[in-house]
Amino acid sequence: MSPVSASAVSHLRARTGVSILACKEALEEANGDEEKAIELLRKRGIAQAAKKAERAQTEGRIFSAEAGGKAALVLLRCETDFVARADAFTALGNALAQEALQGETAARALADAKIPEAVQALGENVSLDEVAVAAAPVVGTYVHTNGKVAVLVGLSGGSREAARDVGMHAAAMSPQYRSPDEVSEDIIAKEKEIWREQLKKEGKPEAMFDKIMIGKEKKFREENALVKQPFVKDPSKTIEQYLGSAQVTAYVRLSVL
């Protein structure tokens, strides 16, 4: 038998939900091969969660927490919407969100400790997917009523209510970026290829392509940038106009789908 690391034992425990000792023994017997260790545990009839780990986790909910100028979102996944609405799942999600205020590492450490127990209690696989944490002079979170879309917003000033309003807007309109200059050049390059083909089909003179695409690029960047979008509560203003002197310093949008 070969010695195995504590992290390997922890990972196997998260996948299987069985005791640390059983995981350690199986890994040692399998010479550190996790899949062989799972097979051994299954043969012993004590790795029920390992079978569950193979099933798709297409459901889940997003949980939020705010304190001391920080905000956090965590996306906790499961297999069915029934479990996503269970009290035990909700309690775990809220605990992870609170822990995430201390940092992503802290949240994932708590998940490693708590998820195996949750898997056994809930009867299906559960995993911590995404963790987002931000600090700003003003922070706000918005979680849609179904718990499947959530937004974290940090502002340089203004109010928590304004941050939450911006979050609600982003949940509905799904901007991919905070500002136009954050749109990646790779994305722009791919869009330009499409635009070029469209212009050819429209019969536009090739000499005009570059000039036309300058306008297309500007429009594309602004349509996909949070601060340039018309505010859903007052379309006569963009988000940046609604915020006035306050700037969006942090923006994260998570979705279960």
pLDDT tier for residue 52 given thresholds of 50, 70 and 90: low
Contact between 3 and 9 under an 8 Å Cβ cutoff? The reply is: no
Pick from 71, 2, 70: which is nearest to 36 by CA?
Answer: 2
Could you give phi then psi for residue 138, rounded to 5 degrees? -135, 125
**In angstroms, rounded to a whole number, what is the distance separating the alpha carbons of residues 204 and 210?**
11
Q: What is the mean pLDDT of the chain?
A: 91
Which residue is it, tokens 């007052």?
A: 234
Residue 3 pLDDT: 74
| 5-19 pLDDT, tens digit each | 877 887 787 677 677
pLDDT tier for residue 1 given thresholds of 50, 70 and 90: low
| 183-226 pLDDT, tens digit each | 999 999 999 999 999 999 999 998 999 899 999 999 999 999 99
Given a cut of 90, whether residue 125 has pLDDT beyond it is no
| 152-177 pLDDT, tens digit each | 999 999 999 999 999 999 999 999 99
Bridge pairing between strands 248-255 and 149-155: antiparallel
